[in-house]
């Protein structure tokens, strides 16, 4: 059997084993069963109500439950847990017969309550125990009415909640309480217990099913209502704790000296000769003297180190000297950690780490090193050029040292050292005096993450990424982009932790501003470099918002607008997954890097704006804008309308290339440019509009007139054929204001036949396009970003399924699942004010729906069939997401 047939057989085999479980309360037992089902290729459906797609029900014994009665009515297999356990031991599914649930009527007689109906359906060809029943269900309580409705429908009954149409003949009236009249709507009235009586006859007494009226499982609303009153507070507390936790850990700093033990001081340290050596130009000997004299707690005079750094920058030092300077700096960081000691040590490092000539502070020092590594001519003072390899690596080492300094400072903050420092030798320093604050934020900028210095850093990062991540043999081994990216991550985590407890909204805004700024300035990067950049972000917090902003930007650049509401599982499933299908069909000729005239998503994510390569370069774009583009006439017609009416195809093509062009813009009467082109026979303009992305809407009607109606009413058969070949037979199904179909407007049989043939061509084209990927690089890049989003969102929000969840999370999930099974999302969150708590409820609701097989249509066939590595990985993530949720629900 070839691989394709084997895969088909496996899919068919899996479809025969779809399980639900009832009556097993132990989480451990249920977990074992669910694991066994998945191990053998079966599927488990969670939830407390019967699902028609199930094929097997597992129960320990006969129960008065909805799932059991519905499975009986539908002729499903109802087996004991041993069926799964023994099948796992066997390595494949066993025959179900020996494991059917049974009732012992007498010592030697057993009754199999389900078998009779399953055999009837097999032998007599019926589809359910209630086939042919047309039931009027008169039950006042909504929850119980819904339960009985599911039960009757499982047995293929037609159920009506209200008075049915006059032509429907009711056969049964099921009521609770029973209606006094024997006949109701000309049909006999039965109590709901008649359902059990019909299923099991006289045996239902032995089975204790005479309690169906009052003891069928209903959701305990009173208990749930009590839980809901405190659920918001619990979810809010959980979300705040999850969002406020430290993200980045640097275990290498655990070996640094104990902050509570004073440093031992050197008894005799004579560095007086170092100054003389420097004055005589003996820089190597001076550096060796400092290296030999270094001792914990000793800080060499700052002016000596400044002189050595100045000499190193001149380009005359040997590579050994440059390495030794870096080693001295690293040793100082270990022996005199600035974040664990007094402010004097911090000031010392701030004095040393600045340009020896300009003395402008730490950031100009870093900026000079970055620019030299990027071979830039613009530095704070002239440096040896062209860039010397040894000096380039020295500046790279300086950047790595500063990164290590900032990482260690963040590590100390995460460890609580700032708050716990006590003693006479250490002042009660707050994080406001940290080196990071002084370097990257002015006093007036500390309430914004995107300071002017951070903006400069992001610009350098993008430039370095183009060089470092490009597939080129001349690629540098400095890893400059990685260093700058790690530096940005440290800054983001530091700033967020300083502000989260005081103003969480400020943190969200800061992250949003930074991520959208990065999305805008990174548009010159190729898709491969862009994906690589996101993949290397170490901060999960930054990585999440950055991947989201870039994904939305890619959607907008390719004509698919997505909303700017906060990220959620619902948004990713209902908005981002369909957008992925649109990106797969984007023309491969679309640019994936932009130039001066590019456009990107605005902050709202629903419009576009032009991005100039320079703030002063505006004249070129203004010259390229057609005259009168933004003016409308008295009828509300834009220049695009007027050009389509006159068949000015060059003007139309020019307008369509401009960013932000709305191809479906309407005049005051509602007519679109496509309407005008079809009405006036502008064939070339129609063709241009059809090739635009996003494509024009061809189903728009004004007083019942669609573009196809417009073309046929004016005798433009060539345009009508073009529309049908583009959109298929769906256009032939529309009627105008008089109820006429498009074919009714054509009298000649030959023309009608031609239109039908064109519609068939359009249908075939659409079918082929449905599974065709027009832009594999864009789809692969977008799939990679979306994979990051699904993975990181679960991790950041602490949703079940991603990792082994804690008892606290398990308790919250249990309450959420029970609440959502009993009530709608609106009922659960009624009166809530905290958006984080509401988002968690919404996330769990979508996860439950995914586990029930919903929302599969959100993934286009092209994406499902794509063989790209990133896209297939995304499909695996979605499958695991469903499986994780099924398992989590099963054990709650």
The 10s digit of each residue's pLDDT in 723-763 is: 999 888 888 888 887 788 899 888 888 988 999 999 888 88
Q: Mean pLDDT: which of 480-484, 497-501, 558-562 is highest?
A: 480-484
Q: How confident is the model at residue 255 (pLDDT cuts 50, 70, 90)?
A: low
Percent of the residues in the chain that have a pLDDT greater than 90, as a whole number: 20
Domains of the chain by start residue, with CATH: 16-123 (3.40.50.10190), 134-215 (3.40.50), 271-429 (no CATH), 621-770 (1.25.40.20), 799-891 (no CATH)
Task: Write out the E strands in 523-604.
Answer: 599-601
| pLDDT at 207 exceeding the cut of 60 | no
Tokens of 586: 């984007």
Q: What's the rounded Cα separation, in Å, for the pair 17 and 721?
A: 48
Tokens of 317: 């030092």
* 210: preceding bond cis by omega (within 30 degrees): no
- Helix pair 749-770, 717-727: axis angle to 10 deg: 30
DSSP conformational letter for 731: G
Order across the sheet with 187-191: list the strands.
158-160, 134-139, 172-176, 187-191, 183-184
C-alpha gyration radius of the chain: 36
**What is the β-pairing status of strands 56-58 and 103-106?**
unpaired
CA angle 78, 83, 87 (to 5 degrees): 140
pLDDT at residue 483 in the model: 93
**What is the β-pairing status of strands 158-160 and 134-139?**
parallel
Per the model's pLDDT, the better-predicted residue between 167 and 226 turns out to be 167
Q: What's the rounded Cα separation, in Å, for the pair 76 and 302?
A: 83
Q: Mean pLDDT: which of 232-236, 484-488, 865-869 is highest?
A: 484-488
Dihedral of the CA atoms 493, 494, 495, 496 (nearest 10)?
40
For 822, the enclosing helix (H) or strand (E) is helix 807-822
Q: What's the rounded Cα separation, in Å, for the pair 440 and 733?
A: 63
CB 837 within 8 A of CB 236: yes
Q: How confident is the model at residue 476 (pLDDT cuts 50, 70, 90)?
A: low
| pLDDT at 67 exceeding the cut of 70 | yes
CA angle 558, 519, 866 (to 5 degrees): 45
Least trusted range by pLDDT, from 148-157, 581-590, 778-787: 581-590
CB 298 within 8 A of CB 266: yes
Scanning the structure block, which residue is given the tokens 């047939």?
5
Q: What's the rounded Cα separation, in Å, for the pair 301 and 291?
A: 13
Q: Partners of 19 in the beta sheet?
A: 44, 56
| Residue closest to 312 by CA, chosen among 371, 398, 379 | 398
Convert the pLDDT of each residue in 791-831 to its tens digit: 999 888 877 655 555 566 667 777 787 788 777 888 888 88
Q: What's the rounded Cα separation, in Å, for the pair 86 and 91?
A: 9
| pLDDT at 772 exceeding the cut of 80 | no
pLDDT at residue 352 in the model: 87
Length of the chain: 892
Alpha helix stretches (DSSP H) within 672-748: 673-679, 683-690, 707-713, 717-727
| Residue closest to 796 by CA, chosen among 828, 840, 762, 753 | 840
What integer is the mean pLDDT of 465-471?
79
Scanning the structure block, which residue is given the tokens 């030959």?
750
Distances, alpha carbon 65 to alpha carbons 57, 201, 496, in Å: 11, 17, 51
| pLDDT at 471 exceeding the cut of 70 | no
Tokens of 358: 């300009």
Per the model's pLDDT, the better-predicted residue between 818 and 706 turns out to be 706
Q: How confident is the model at residue 660 (pLDDT cuts 50, 70, 90)?
A: confident
What integer is the mean pLDDT of 179-191?
68
Q: Partners of 191 in the beta sheet?
A: 175
* 694: preceding bond cis by omega (within 30 degrees): yes
């Amino acid at each position: 059997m070839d691989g394709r047939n084997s895969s088909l057989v496996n899919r068919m085999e899996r479809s025969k084993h779809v399980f639900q479980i009832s009556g097993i309360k132990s989480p451990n037992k249920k977990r074992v069963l669910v694991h066994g089902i998945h191990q053998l290729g079966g599927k488990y459906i969670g939830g407390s109500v019967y699902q028609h797609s199930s094929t097997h029900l597992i129960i320990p014994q006969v129960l008065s439950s909805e799932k059991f009665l519905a499975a009986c009515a539908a002729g499903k297999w109802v087996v004991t847990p041993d069926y799964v356990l023994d099948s796992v031991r066997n390595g494949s599914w066993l025959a179900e017969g020996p494991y059917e649930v049974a009732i012992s009527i007498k010592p030697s007689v057993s009754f199999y309550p389900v078998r009779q109906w399953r055999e009837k359906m097999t032998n007599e060809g019926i589809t359910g125990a209630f086939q042919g029943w047309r039931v009027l269900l008169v039950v006042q309580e909504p929850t119980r009415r819904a339960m009985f409705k599911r039960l009757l429908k499982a047995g293929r009954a037609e159920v009506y909640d209200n008075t049915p149409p006059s032509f429907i003949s009711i056969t049964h009236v099921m009521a609770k309480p029973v209606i006094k009249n024997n006949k109701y709507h000309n049909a006999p009235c039965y109590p709901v217990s008649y359902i059990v009586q019909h299923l099991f006859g006289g045996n239902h007494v032995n089975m204790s099913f005479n309690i169906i009226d009052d003891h069928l499982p209903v959701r305990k609303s009173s208990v749930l209502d009590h839980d809901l009153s405190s659920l918001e507070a619990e979810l809010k507390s959980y979300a705040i704790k999850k969002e406020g936790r430290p993200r980045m850990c640097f275990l290498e700093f655990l070996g640094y000296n104990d902050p509570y033990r004073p440093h031992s001081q050197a008894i005799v340290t004579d560095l007086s000769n170092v100054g003389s050596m420097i004055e005589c130009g003996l820089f190597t000997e001076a550096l060796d003297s400092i290296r030999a004299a270094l001792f914990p707690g000793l800080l060499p005079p700052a002016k000596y180190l400044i002189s050595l750094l100045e000499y190193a920058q001149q380009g005359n030092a040997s590579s050994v000297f440059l390495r030794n300077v870096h080693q001295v700096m690293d040793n100082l960081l270990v022996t005199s950690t600035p974040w664990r000691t007094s402010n004097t040590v911090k000031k010392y490092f701030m004095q040393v780490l600045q340009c020896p000539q300009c003395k402008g502070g730490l950031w100009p020092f870093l900026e000079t090193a970055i620019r030299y590594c990027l071979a830039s001519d613009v530095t704070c003072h002239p440096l040896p050029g062209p860039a010397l390899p040894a000096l380039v690596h020295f500046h790279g080492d300086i950047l790595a040292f500063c990164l290590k300094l900032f990482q260690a400072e963040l590590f100390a903050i995460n460890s609580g050292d700032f708050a716990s420092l006590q003693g006479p030798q250490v002042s009660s320093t707050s994080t406001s005096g940290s080196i990071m604050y002084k370097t990257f934020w002015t006093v007036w900028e500390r309430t914004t993450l995107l300071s002017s210095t951070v903006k400069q850093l992001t610009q350098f990062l993008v430039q370095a990424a183009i060089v470092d991540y490009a597939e080129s043999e001349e690629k540098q081994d400095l890893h400059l982009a990685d260093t700058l990216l790690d530096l940005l991550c440290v800054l983001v985590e530091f700033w967020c932790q300083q502000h989260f407890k005081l103003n969480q909204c400020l943190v969200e805004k800061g992250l949003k501003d930074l991520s959208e700024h990065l999305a805008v300035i990174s548009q010159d990067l190729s898709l491969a470099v862009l994906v690589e950049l996101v993949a290397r972000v170490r901060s999960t917090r930054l990585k999440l918002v950055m991947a989201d902003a870039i994904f939305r930007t890619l959607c907008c650049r390719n004509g698919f607008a997505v909303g700017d509401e906060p990220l959620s599982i619902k948004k990713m499933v209902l908005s981002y997954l369909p957008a992925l299908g649109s990106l797969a069909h984007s023309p491969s000729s679309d640019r994936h890097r932009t130039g001066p005239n590019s456009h990107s998503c605005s902050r709202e994510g629903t419009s576009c704006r032009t991005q100039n390569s320079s703030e002063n370069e505006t004249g070129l774009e203004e010259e390229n804008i057609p005259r009168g583009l933004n003016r409308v006439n008295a009828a509300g017609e834009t220049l695009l309308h007027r050009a389509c009416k006159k068949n000015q195809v060059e003007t139309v093509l020019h307008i369509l290339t401009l960013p932000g062009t709305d191809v479906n813009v309407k005049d005051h009467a509602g007519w679109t440019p496509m309407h005008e082109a079809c009405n006036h026979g502008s064939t070339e303009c129609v063709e241009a509009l059809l090739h635009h992305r996003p494509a024009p809407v061809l189903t728009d009607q004004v007083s019942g007139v669609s573009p196809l109606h417009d073309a046929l009413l004016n005798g433009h058969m060539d345009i009508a054929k073009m529309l049908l070949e583009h959109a298929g037979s769906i256009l032939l199904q529309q009627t105008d204001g008089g109820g006429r179909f498009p074919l009714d407007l054509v009298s000649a049989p030959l023309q009608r036949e031609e239109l039908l043939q064109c519609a068939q061509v359009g249908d075939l084209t659409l079918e082929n396009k449905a599974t065709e990927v027009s832009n594999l690089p864009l789809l692969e890049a977008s799939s990679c970003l979306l994979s990051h989003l699904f993975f990181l969102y679960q991790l950041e929000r602490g949703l079940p399924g991603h990792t082994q969840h804690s008892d606290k999370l398990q308790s919250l999930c249990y309450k959420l699942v029970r609440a959502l099974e009993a009530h709608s999302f609106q009922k659960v969150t009624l009166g809530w004010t905290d958006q984080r708590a509401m988002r968690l409820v919404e996330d769990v609701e979508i996860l439950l729906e995914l586990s029930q097989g919903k929302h599969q249509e959100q993934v286009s066939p092209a994406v499902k069939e794509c063989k790209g590595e990133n896209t297939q990985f995304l499909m695996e993530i979605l499958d695991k997401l469903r499986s994780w949720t099924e398992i989590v629900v099963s054990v709650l």
